[in-house]
Amino acid sequence: MSASEKAKAKTEQTVGKVEKEVGRAIGNERIAAEGESKEAKGDLRAAKEKGKDALKD
């Protein structure tokens, strides 16, 4: 996994998780949903990079 893509994935996952929890804590469903979306995007980016790495070996 390239370092920059790995960092992007981890950042998206972390920001999404925080945003989701903040949204839930304050009762704002829109913020929570946006956080879930960002977290999922980060998960997909990480999975894509892991798949690329598996094909290289």
Tens-place pLDDT, residues 31-47: 999 999 999 999 999 99
- Distance, in Å, from the CA atom of 39 to the CA atom of 10, rounded to the nearest integer, reads 9
pTM of the model: 0.83
Tens-place pLDDT, residues 5-16: 889 999 999 999
7, 39, 8, 42: which is closest to 23 by C-alpha? 39
27: alpha, beta or left, given left = phi > 0 and alpha = psi -120 to 50? left
